[in-house]
Amino acid sequence: MPQDSDRSTGLIQRIWRSIVRGPLYPRDDRDRKWLVVNNLILHLRPIRLPRRSLKFTHTWGLGGIAFVLILLLAATGVLMMFVYEPSTEGAYESIVLLQDRVLFGTMVRNVHHWSANFLILIVFLHLLRVYFTGGYQGARQFNWVIGLVLLFGVVASNFTGYLLPWDQLSYWAVTISTGMIAYVPFIGEWLREVVRGGAEIGQATLINFYTFHTTVIPVVLILFLAWHFWRVRKAHGVVYPRTVDGEDEESPEYVLTLPHLLVREVAVALALVAFVMVFALFFDAPLGDAANPGMSPNPAKAPWYFLGIQEMLLHFHPTFAVVIIPTAGLVALVLLPYLKYTDDSAGIWFMSRRGRRLALLATVTASIFTPLWIVMDEYWLNLTGWLAGVPSGISNGLLPTAVMAGGVALFYAMLKKIFSATRGEAIQATFVLLTVGFVILTVTGVWFRGAGMALVLP
Ligand code: HEM
């Protein structure tokens, strides 16, 4: 109990007091101690935090937004499990039933669908925020790796959910995506069969995906989310925000998490829920015709977050597009926090003034060269034709990959030589170059590919 005097008062009185007096507004040290030991929120948050960390534009609330979206997904997902039937005969019908016959069924499905898609976008933006504020350095290094597992989990969750409506869209998107697995050297065909639960997409695939979507992935996400938050707590909250000019406070002013952080988090969460609800009211989750394994739509596209990779398939040998380049990207992402940085830039957006300029230069460079290369490859470049006789793994795989890697290395060297960039600034600009390049590939796949995957205007 918070106060000794409470022992002498009645139960109702004590409960009433604890409601009206606190725990939001601790009055003295004893109150505060009670609050810290007994409060669930403060097991997850530091007790005090620098006032500057509260500034919305430091984190944009993205980690918290991701968490609220996950809660929305869990709530709407459980509701849909009461109606959904994981069988090839019943799945599509059960979704139609949910939409047409269940009170608020369409709304629940819409909220689930849009929350899942926003989540991928938000987690990606959160990753960028953490990277560009140096939130991966020092005590936070390993939390970056935990974050990557979360990212992988969120994408896997989205992908396994994609199949469940069993309509033309989902059936063929999953056919395309799982088809890509076959390009993994040596074990590709076997792995594809394991994922599909057979040679073709069918009942076994649906049960595999349903179990992963509703049980395995949520459990993994819950465990890693708890670990992620605990690591943030252990690092004393988010990285301390600093300015490029170094006019940082000598001794930062600290405020109590309760209520200062909590009211902000609740405000963002409420605004988010309202936004998703309104969005779901106006935009329905897509539902095509029932799956027809005999009729492939044209173009047949993977889910949007895999379209960057599907786009690469049009330019590189499949083993490079699906396995080697994505694996290299993933390894680079894992290693990012462990590279040797000379700058002390934690908490400063884009490290320094030069860091900002070079990030902009990288954005412009990628925005020119990526579309140029896509168009050139579509209309002019014909490596397999020009180098007929050379195995396509070399002419269309090793060769363009080496040219691309050479271009990136040249860019890095130029940053150091011409712009006297520090190691950290050069790595950051290279990261921007590759990220913007990948985003442009994804945008091309989503809006600029039509029938036969030909380049078209949207
Ligand atoms: C389901 C996905 C995720 C959720 C719900 C989540 C949630 C959070 C939250 C609530 C914070 C506290 C500050 C904030 O709001 O920004 C945070 C911090 C952090 N997150 Fe995540 N996160 C997720 C994914 C990721 C990913 C993909 C990465 C990076 C690869 C990552 C790396 C980090 C790091 C390093 C911090 C500490 C940053 C700092 O101290 O400034 N997280 N995360």
pLDDT digits (tens, 9 = 90+) for 304-352: 999 999 999 999 999 999 999 999 999 999 999 999 888 788 999 999 9
CA–centroid distance, residue 344 to ligand 1 (Å): 21
Q: Give the residue with greater pLDDT, 72 vs 17.
A: 72
- Please indicate, yes or no, if residue 232 is contained in any of the structural domains: yes
Report which ligand 1 atom has the smallest distance to the Cα of 145: 30
Task: Please compute, for residue 444, the number of CA atoms within 13 A of its CA located in the half-sphere on the CB side.
Answer: 25
Range of the domain at 449: 312-458
> Does 346 share its domain with 256?
no
* Ligand 1, atom 20: closest residue by C-alpha: 147
My answer on whether 457 and 364 are in the same domain is yes
Name the residue with higher pLDDT: 217 or 50.
Answer: 217
- Is pLDDT larger for residue 39 or for residue 406? 406
Are 341 and 271 found together in one domain? Answer: no
Instruction: Classify residue 421: in a domain, yes or no.
Output: yes
Same domain? 253 vs 397 = no
**What is the four-CA torsion angle of 441, 442, 443, 445, rounded to 10 degrees?**
90
DSSP string, 155-197: HHHHHHHHHTT-BHHHHHHHHHHHHHHTTSTTTHHHHHHHHHT
In the reported structure, the alpha carbon of residue 70 is separated from the centroid of ligand 1 by a whole-number distance in angstroms of 13
CA 354 – ligand 1 centroid, Å:
26
Q: Determine, yes or no, domain membership for 12.
A: no
- The verdict on 110 and 213 lying in the same domain is yes
As a whole-number percent, the residues of the chain with pLDDT over 90 amount to: 74
Band of pLDDT at residue 389, cut at 50, 70 and 90: confident
Is residue 436 in contact with ligand 1, taking CB distance under 6 Å? no
Ligand 1 pocket test, candidate residues 45, 130, 233, 261, most atoms within 8 A of CB: 130
Q: What's residue 244's pLDDT?
A: 84
Residues 6+ apart with CB under 8 A from 169: 286, 287, 288, 297
- Indicate if 230 and 377 belong to the same structural domain: no
CB 321 within 8 A of CB 315: yes
Of all protein residues, the one whose alpha carbon is nearest to atom 23 of ligand 1 is: 147
Q: How many domains does the chain have?
A: 2
CATH number of the domain enclosing 170: 1.20.810.10
Segment 259-271, tens digit of pLDDT = 889 899 999 999 9
Q: Give pLDDT, residue 319.
A: 93
State the distance from the centre of ligand 1 to the C-alpha of 383, rounded, in angstroms: 42
Per-residue pLDDT, averaged over 110-123, amounts to 98
How far is the CA of 314 from the CAs of 319, 379, 405, 435, in angstroms? 12, 12, 18, 19
* Nearest residue (CA) to ligand 1, atom 13: 63
Among 256, 288, 320, give the residue marking a domain's end. Answer: 288
Q: Give the strand pairing for 48-50 and 254-256.
A: antiparallel
Any long-range contacts for 77-82 (C-beta under 8 Å, 24+ apart)?
Answer: 77/112, 77/214, 79/108, 80/108, 80/109, 80/112, 81/214
pLDDT given at position 249 = 64
Q: How far is the CA of 228 from the centre of ligand 1 (A)?
A: 7
Q: Is residue 296 part of a domain?
A: no
How far does residue 146's CA lie from ligand 1's centre (Å)?
A: 9
Does residue 39 carry a pLDDT above 90? Answer: no
Q: Given a cut of 80, is residue 24 above it in pLDDT? A: no
Last residue of a domain, one of 232, 254, 288: 288
Domain annotation covers residue 122: yes
Question: Residue 19 pLDDT more than 60?
Answer: no
Domain boundary among 288, 321, 340: 288
Q: How far is the CA of 376 from the centre of ligand 1 (A)?
A: 38
Question: Which of 228, 330, 349 to probe ligand 1 with, by most ligand atoms within 8 A of CB?
Answer: 228
Our answer on whether the CB atom of 64 is closer than 6 Å to any ligand 1 atom is: yes
Separation of CA 89 and ligand 1 centre (Å): 40
pLDDT at position 387 is 85
Question: Average pLDDT for residues 67-96, to the nearest whole number?
Answer: 98
Same domain, 108 and 223: yes
Residue 133 within any structural domain of the chain:
yes
Write the residue with the smallest CA distance to atom 5 of ligand 1.
67
pLDDT at 10: 74
**Is the pLDDT confidence value at 16 over 90?**
no
154 lines ligand 1 (CB under 6 A): yes
Task: Confirm whether 302 is domain-assigned.
Answer: no
Q: Give the model's confidence band at 2: pLDDT under 50 very low, under 70 low, under 90 confident, else very high.
A: very low
Residue 332 belongs to a domain:
yes
